[in-house]
Structure 1
Amino acid sequence: MNSRQWCRDLGMGVRFAFTGGREGWIRVLLTAVGVGLGVALLLLTTAIPNAMAVRHDRDAARLDYTYGPSRPKAADTLVISDANSTFRGSDVRGRLVEPEGPRAPIAPGLSAYPAPGDMVVSPALKHLLASDSGKLLRERLPYRIVGTIGESGLIGSHELAYYAGAKNLAPRINGWQTARIDTFGPPKRTETKRLDPVLLLLVLVVFVVLLMPVAVFIAAAVRFGGERRDRRLAALRLVGADSRMTRRVAAGEALAGSLVGLALGTVFFLLGRQLAGSVEIMGVSVFPSYLNPSPTLVVLVAIAVPAAAVLVTLFALRGVVIEPLGVVRTAKARRRRLWWRLLLPLAGLGLLAPMIGKGSENGYFNEYQVIGGVLLLLLGVSVLLPWVVEAVVARLGAGGAAWQLAVRRLQLKSDSAARMVNGIAVAVAGAIAIQMLFAGVQGGYTKVTGQDTTRAQMQVNLSRGVDFTTAAKKFAATEGVSKAVALGSADVGDRSWHGKGPTASTGVTVGDCAALRELARLPSCHDGDVFVATGSDSTSDADTAKLARTGRRVWLDMNFGVHQRPEITWTVPGGLKHVRAITSPDGNKIGGFLLTPSAAPGRRTVAFSGSVYVSIDESVPDVREYVRNTAAAIDPMADTMLWSATEESNKFTSIRTGTFAGAICVLALIGLSLLVSQLEQLRERKRLLSALVAFGTRRRTLGVSVLWQTAIPVALGLLLASAVGLTLGAVLLKMVGTTVSVDWSGVLAMTGAGAGVVLAVTLLSLPPLMRLVRPEGLRTE
C-alpha cells in the first residue's frame, strides 16, 4: 500500500468527520474537547521548566547582596536594608532604600526610588493593603503608597513586595542586613550546582507521574463515539471498501478530531496561561508571560497527538470485523490475554532493579532507565485494568434491578468502563509512589533546629542600638503574648578587635535574672551579679577562664559589620559566680560572661545585639501578626522568626510544592475530561436508556445503575493502582537506599482523592442522564 492511498483514505475519514451530519460533528467535538484538555495540560506542563527558570532569573536580577567588600559612599551607591516579613503564612519581601547619588542603581521593576516615608509596592500587596484583611499589615507598613513595582521586579503575580524610602541607613551598615551596593544581581557568575541524585530522581519521577495520566486520557479521548463510528463504517463496506480501507478511514476521523483538539488545546492553553496569572497554588504564582513552552516540545506535541490518534484507532480496530451488513466484535469470543500485559510492569521493574541500593553516594541514576522504568510500570496499570475489570465483572452475580443493569452493561462493554477510569488509576498509582518516595527521603532533607517550642514560639532579633530591655516590655504587653524574655549578646577579647584582633575571646550575655536562668543553673541571682558559665557549644572554656579574672580589662567587639565604631572596654569585677550552661530555648549552650543589667557596660544598647524570645497564646487569632507588628514598631529591620522543631531543605520543599501543585492541576483536568467521557457514553446509549424508561424502568433505578457502573471499575482501578503504586514506591525507596515504609494515611488520601473526583463526575452526569431518558430519545432518523 503506497503513501498516496493512505493519504487519500485518511483524507476521506477527515471529510466524513466534518460532513457526516450532526452525529459526526458531535463526535468530532467530544473528541476535540477531550484531546484539547489533554493538549492544554501538556503545553502547560512543558512550560513549567521555563516558568521556573524565568522566576529564578528575575530573582537573581534583583539580588542585593548585603555581605561582601566595604564600599565608600559615591554618586553610584545605594544603601539598602532587608526588611522581610511574613503575613498569615505568606512571605513579604521588603527593602528600605536610600540612594546616595544620582547614579544609584535602580532595582528591577522601578523607575525611581520613593522618598523617605513613601513606598512602591507589588500589585498583590497593594490589593491586600486596600482590603479589610490587610488591616494588620497596614499597621506594620506605615508608608504612603506612591507607585507599583513592574513585572520585571517580581517573581510572581501574587508576590508581596515593597521598596520603602528611608534615611540615615549608613550607620546601620553591618555586612549582613544593611549594605552599600552599586549594582543589583549576583556579584559574579557562578556555576549552577546540579541537584543531588535523590532530588534529581524526584524531579524525573514527578514529570513522568504528572504527564502519564494526560497521555492515557488523550489516547482514550480519540476513541469517543466508537460504536456509532463502526456502524457507519459498515456502510462503506457495502459500497465496496475493503476492511483495511475502512480502518484507515476510521483513523482519518480520529485524526480530524485530534487536529481540532490541537486547535482547542491551544485556545485552552492560552486561557489557562491567563488564568495562571490570577491564581496561586501552594504559594507559587507566575505571570502569564512566564508560561512559554519550549518550541521543540510544542512541535513534539503537535506531531505526537495526531500520530497517537491514528495509531490508537488502528490498534482499537484490530479486534473488530466490519462487514457490509454490520459490525462483529471478535473481542468477546476471545478473552483478553494476561501474559503480555504483565510484561510491561515486569520490564519496568527490570529497568529499575539494577539501580537498587545506589543511594545518593554512588553517582547519578541513569535518567533514561528511570523514565523508562516508571513509564512502563504506570503503563502496566493502563493495560492491566481492562483485563481486571473483565475478569471480575464476569463473575458478578445477581442483585437488584440497578445492580443487574450495571453489571450487564459492564459485562457487555467492559473496555469503555476501564478506559474511563484509566487516567485516574494511573494518576493515583503515580501519586502513591511519589508520596512514598517523598516520605522516605524527607528525613535526609530535614534537620532538627534544636528550638524548644515549649519554652518559646517566636524569636525577634533586634538591630544593635535598640534597647532590648524596653523592647521586651512592649512585647509582653502585646495581645496574645504570655511571656517575653530579652537577652543581649556580644563578644569580648583580651585586646582590641582592630588590627590583628584578640588572641582569646568569649561571649557576654546581658539579661535579668529570669532571662539568665534560661541559659544556666543559677544558685541565686540579684541585679548586679556577674556569672561565668562553662560548657558552651561555641566558646572555649579555656578562653573564658583566661578572661574571667577580677580586674582584667577586656574589649567589646564593636567592629561588627564594615564600620569601625569607638571601642568599649570593660573591667571584670570581683565576686564572680561560676555556673554551668544549660540548653537555651534556641537549642544552644551559651557560655562566657552572664551579666545582670546593672553590671553591664553603660552603653549596652550600642554594644549588644538584642534577641527577644516570645511565648504566645495560639488560641488568640492573628497573635503572630500582633508580635510582628510590635517588632516593626520597635525596629523596622527586626528579624522575626517563627520557631519550629525541624527545618526542611529549600530545594526539597520547592520540588514537593511544585509536585502537589501539578497534581492538583492534573486531577482537576482529569475530572473535567472524565465528565466529557461520561457524557459521551450516555449520549451513545440515549435510545437504549429511553427504551428502558418507556418499558417502565424508574429513572432513579437508572441513576443508581450509572453509579454502580462507575463505582465497580473505579474500585477495581484504585485497588490495582494501589498495588502498582506501592510496588513502584518500594522500588524507588530501595533505589535511594531508604528503608521501605508505607504511610497508609497518605495512601488512603491519594485513593480517596481519586475516588472523590470520579464520584463528583458521576454526580454531575446525573442531570444530563435525566434529560436523555425522555421519550424524545427514541426518535431516530
Structure 2
Amino acid sequence: MNVRQWARDLRMGARFAFTGGREGWIRVLLTAVGVGLGVALLLLTTAVPSVLSARDQRSDARADYPDRYGHEQPAKADDTLLIAKLDTTYHDQDIRGRLVQPDGPRATLAPGLTKYPAAGDMVVSPALKELLESGEGKLLRERIPYRVVGTIGESGLVGSRELAYYAGADDLDQHRDNWQVARLDGFGGTEQMSERMDPVLILLVVVVLVALLMPVAVFIAAAVRFGGERRDRRLAALRLVGSDSRMTHRIAAGEALAGALLGLVFGTVFFLIGRQAVGSVEIQGISVFPGDLNPTPVLAACVALAVPAAAVLVTLFALRGVVIEPLGVVRTAKPARRRLWWRLLLPLVGLAMLYPMFGQGRDNGDFNKLLVIGGVLLLLAGVTALLPWFVEAVVGRLGGGGVAWQLAVRRLQLSSGSAARSVNGIAVAVAGAIALQMFFAGIESDYTSQTRYDLDRAQMSVTIPAGTPLAPVTEKFAAVKGVRKVTALGVGSAGDKSWRTGEGPDNMAQIAIGDCAALRDVAALPSCHDGDVFALDVSWNDEDTKALAKPGRTLHLGDSEVSGKALDVKWTVPQGLRHARAVKDANGMERGGFLMTPSALPAQAVRAISGEFYLSLDESVPDVKERVRNAALAADPFANMTVWTSSEESTKFVAVRKGLLVGATCVLLLIGASLLVSQLEQLRERKKLLSALVAFGTRRRTLSLSVLWQTAVPVALGLLLASVVGLTLGMVLLKMSRTPLSVHWSSVLSMAGIGAGVVLLVTLLSLPPLLRLMRPDGLRTE
C-alpha cells in the first residue's frame, strides 16, 4: 500500500467527518471535546518544567538573606541597605515579610519594587492586599500595621497567590546584632546547597508521573471511538459502492484523525483559557503566573504528533473484530469470546520488569527509570486490557431481576466492550491512586520524625531577643484569650572569660532565669525562694558547668545568641550555690548550667538575657494561635514563634505529596468532564432505542434505573479490578523500596469511594439530558 493511497483515504474520511450532516458534526465535536480535555492536561504537564524553572529563577533573583557566618557583609554605603527577615504564618498560610532601610539613595532595589517604602509604609503582593482588605484579615492587619502604598510586581513573587510584603523602617541600626538583620549591596546569587533526593523519593516521583498521565492517555483513546456504532453503519454504505474492507478501515481512521486534529485545536483553546484562569487559583499552597505556563516545545511537539497517531492506531485496532459488509455491520451476532492469555501477559511482563529491583531500597543506587516506567505502565495497562474480558465474563452470567435490571443487563451483554471503555479511565486512575497511597503510607515513617516537644505541657513557644523585659511580655501572653498558662524563662550564657576578648571563654554554660514555678519545669528543686541559685546535675557529662560551679568564682554573663559581645557583666558564683537534678523541660531537652531566680541576676545583665516563653493553649478558642503571634510581635517585632507538633515531615517528601495532590486534582477534573462527555455520547447513540421503549409504554423511572445499572455494574467491576491491580503495584513498590508490606485498607476504600463518587456525580448530571431523550418524538427522522 503506497503513501498516496493512504493519504487519499484519510482525506476522504476527514471530509466525511465534517460533511456528514448534523450527526457527523455532533460526533466530531464530542470526539474533539474529549480529546481536547486530555490534550489540555498534557500541555499543562509539558509546561511544568518551565513553571518550576521560572519559580526558581525569581526565588534566586530575590534572595536577600546571606549566611551570617559564611559571607562577609558589605560596609555601609550609598548603595547598601539593611534588611530584616520577618516571615510569619497566618491561618496556616506562610507570609514572607521584610523590613527594609536603605543606607543611601542608590540602594539596590529588590525585584518587583520601583522604590522602597518609607518608614511605616509597605508594598504588598496582590494576594496579601486582597487578604488584608477582607474580613478574614482582621487579625493580620493588627500584626502588620503598616500603610499599604503599592504592590509588588510579578518579578518579586514566586507565585500569583503568594503572600509577601516589604515594609519601611528607620531603626534597624539598633538591631544589627540580631541574626535576622543583614546588610546587602545586591539581591540574588546566594548559593544554596541542595540536598540530593534519595532513590526512593525519585522512584516515587516517577511513579506519580506515570500514574497521573496514564488515565489521560486512556481517556484520549476512548474519546476517538465516540460514536463508533453509527460510524460503522455509515461505512457499510461505502462497501455498497465498491470500497474494500481495508479502504473502509482507512477512511474510518481518517474520521478519527479529523476529530483528533480538531481535538488538538480544542485542547490548545482549553489550555489557553485555563492558563488565564490559573493566576487566581491556589492548590495546596502552590500558585503560578499565567506567563509561566509555557509548554516545553519538544514535549508539546510530541503531544501534537502522538495524539493523531494514537487516534489512527486505536481506530484500526478497534475495527479488527468488526465485519463491515455492504448490507450492514456484523456486530449483533454472537462475538467470539475474548482471549485472556495476552491480557494477562501485560501485567506479568510489567512485574518481570520491576522484579530485578526488589529489595534495592535507598542504599543500592538509583532505580532503573526505564524499567520502572515500563513496568508501571504495563501493570496499569493491564487494567485496560483485563477489564473488557472481566466485564464480559461477569455480565454474561447475570440473569433475572426487575425490568430495569434486565434492560441494563441485556444492553451490557450486547455491548460490554463500550461499557468497559467508559470506565477504563477511572479504573486506571483508581489503581494508580491505590498503589501510590500504599507507597506513601509505607514510606511515610522514613520521612517523618517524632519531635521532642511535650504537647501536654505546651503547644507553642516564643523566643524574644535580648533586652526585652520578661514580665510585661508574660502579662501580654497571659491576657490573650485561650492562653491557659505561660512559663517564662530568661536565657543567657556564663563563661570564665569575657566575650570581648578575641579568644572568648574556655568554659561556657547556659543560665536560665525564672520564678520558682518556671524553674521547677526544668529541674527537681529541693526547695526554692527568690534569690536562690542552682547548678544543674545532668545525665550527660557537663564538664563546663562542673568547672564554673565553684562558689566565689567570677564569671562573665552574656546573651547566648550574640555571644555577649555588646556586654560584659561580671557575676560571682554565690556561696549558697545549691545543686538540683535536671529534668526534661516542655521543649524535651535536659538543660545544663545554672538556674537563677530573678533577684539573683545582676541588674546590668538584664539586657543580655533573651526570653523563652512556653504557652499552654485552649485550642478550642478561635484564632488563639494568631492572637499569640500578634501579642508576640507587639512585644518585639523580631520575636520567633513555633507551633509545636508531635511529628515533622521531610520538606522534599511534603513537596512530592503536594505535587501529587495538585496533579490528582487536575486528573479528577479531567475524569469527571470526560466521563460526562462519554455518557452524553452513549445516550445520543441510544436515542431511538429509548424513544421506542417510551413509545411502547416503558416508564421513565424504569429507563432511568436501567441507565443507572448500566453505569453501576461496569464501575463496580472496574473498581474491583483496579483495587486488585493497585494493591499488587503498591506491594511491588514497597518491596522495591525495602519497606515492610502492609495494606492500608482505609486508603484503598477511600480511593475506590472517590472513583465511585465521581461516576455517581457524572451519572446524576446526565439524568436531565436522559429525560429529554426519553420522548416518543425521538423516533422521527428525516
TM-score normalised by the shorter chain: which range applies? over 0.9
SS of equivalent to 2:738: coil
Matches of 1:404 and 1:282, distance apart in 2: 46
Change (3 A) 1:558 1:582: closer
1:52 Cα shift? 2.1
Contact 2:63 2:189 (8 Å CA) reproduced = yes
Aligned residues: 778
Q: Which moved more, 1:259-268 or 1:601-610?
A: 601-610
Which residue number corresponds to residue 85 of structure 2? Answer: 82
Compute the RMSD of aligned alpha carbons: 1.4
User: 2:195 matched to 1:207?
Assistant: no
Alignment of 1:661-740 (within 5 A): 661-740=662-741
Which residue number corresponds to residue 483 of structure 1? Answer: 485
Alignment of 1:157-176 (within 5 A): 157-174=160-177, 176=179
1:558 Cα shift? 4.9
Matches of 2:599 and 2:223, distance apart in 1: 80
1:563 Cα shift? 9.3
Note the alpha carbon deviations across 1:256-285, whole angstroms, 9 max, x for none: 000000000000001111121111111111
Contact 1:558 1:568 (8 Å CA) reproduced = no
SS of equivalent to 2:648: strand
User: 2:367 matched to 1:388?
Assistant: no
Change (3 A) 1:574 1:186: farther
Which residue number corresponds to residue 773 of structure 1? Answer: 774
Note the alpha carbon deviations across 1:555-597, whole angstroms, 9 max, x for none: 1235854994132221111211211111111111111101111
- State the one-letter code of the partner of 1:749: S
Which residue number corresponds to residue 133 of structure 2? Answer: 130
1:510 Cα shift? 1.0
Alignment of 1:397-416 (within 5 A): 397-416=399-418
Contact 2:344 2:386 (8 Å CA) reproduced = yes
Contact 1:66 1:176 (8 Å CA) reproduced = no
1:176 Cα shift? 3.1
- State the one-letter code of the partner of 1:607: A
Question: Please, which runs of 5 or more residues in structure 1 have no aligned partner?
Answer: none
Alignment of 1:453-602 (within 5 A): 453-497=455-499, 498-535=501-538, 540-558=541-559, 560-561=561-562, 564-602=565-603
Matches of 2:560 and 2:335, distance apart in 1: 89
Which residue number corresponds to residue 47 of structure 1? Answer: 47
SS of equivalent to 2:545: helix
SS of equivalent to 1:9: helix
Note the alpha carbon deviations across 1:82-115, whole angstroms, 9 max, x for none: 1111111111111111111222221111111111
Contact 1:174 1:563 (8 Å CA) reproduced = no
Change (3 A) 1:536 1:506: farther
Contact 2:119 2:168 (8 Å CA) reproduced = yes
Which residue number corresponds to residue 67 of structure 2? Answer: 67
User: 2:121 matched to 1:118?
Assistant: yes
Which residue number corresponds to residue 19 of structure 1? Answer: 19
Note the alpha carbon deviations across 1:66-91, whole angstroms, 9 max, x for none: 53334322222211111111111111
Name segments (4+ residues, structure 1) moved above 3 Å: 190-194, 557-564
Matches of 2:518 and 2:295, distance apart in 1: 57
Matches of 1:282 and 1:295, distance apart in 2: 28
1:617 Cα shift? 0.7
Indicate which of 270, 277, 280 corresponds to 1:278. Answer: 280
- State the one-letter code of the partner of 1:47: A
Matches of 1:404 and 1:753, distance apart in 2: 28
Matches of 1:384 and 1:307, distance apart in 2: 24
SS of equivalent to 2:47: helix
Matches of 1:56 and 1:6, distance apart in 2: 48
User: 2:165 matched to 1:141?
Assistant: no
Alignment of 1:622-637 (within 5 A): 622-637=623-638
SS of equivalent to 2:524: coil
Q: Which moved more, 1:760-769 or 1:99-108?
A: 99-108
Note the alpha carbon deviations across 1:47-70, whole angstroms, 9 max, x for none: 123212222222222122253334
Q: Which moved more, 1:560-569 or 1:429-438?
A: 560-569
Change (3 A) 1:174 1:446: farther
User: 2:646 matched to 1:657?
Assistant: no
Contact 1:124 1:159 (8 Å CA) reproduced = yes
Note the alpha carbon deviations across 1:185-210, whole angstroms, 9 max, x for none: 2434x665432111111110000011
1:175 Cα shift? 6.1
1:459 Cα shift? 0.9
Contact 1:48 1:293 (8 Å CA) reproduced = yes
1:631 Cα shift? 1.0
Note the alpha carbon deviations across 1:505-559, whole angstroms, 9 max, x for none: 111111111111111111111111111112166xx52210110111111112358
SS of equivalent to 2:568: coil
SS of equivalent to 2:280: coil
1:363 Cα shift? 0.7
- State the one-letter code of the partner of 2:377: L
Which residue number corresponds to residue 30 of structure 2? Answer: 30
Contact 1:319 1:331 (8 Å CA) reproduced = no
Contact 1:70 1:562 (8 Å CA) reproduced = no
Change (3 A) 1:382 1:118: same
Note the alpha carbon deviations across 1:594-638, whole angstroms, 9 max, x for none: 111111131344211211111111111111111111111111121
Contact 1:66 1:178 (8 Å CA) reproduced = no
Q: TM-score, normalised by structure 2?
A: 0.98
1:694 Cα shift? 0.6
1:298 Cα shift? 0.3
- State the one-letter code of the partner of 1:9: D
Matches of 1:568 and 1:103, distance apart in 2: 40
Change (3 A) 1:332 1:303: farther
Contact 2:232 2:329 (8 Å CA) reproduced = yes
Note the alpha carbon deviations across 1:114-171, whole angstroms, 9 max, x for none: 1110000000000011111111111111100000011111111111111111122123
Change (3 A) 1:83 1:192: closer
- State the one-letter code of the partner of 2:322: V
Matches of 1:524 and 1:479, distance apart in 2: 33
Change (3 A) 1:765 1:503: same
Which residue number corresponds to residue 101 of structure 1? Answer: 104
Matches of 1:614 and 1:351, distance apart in 2: 55
Question: Please, which runs of 5 or more residues in structure 2 have no aligned partner?
Answer: none
Which residue number corresponds to residue 759 of structure 1? Answer: 760
Contact 2:494 2:556 (8 Å CA) reproduced = yes
1:433 Cα shift? 0.7
SS of equivalent to 1:585: coil
Matches of 1:145 and 1:479, distance apart in 2: 29
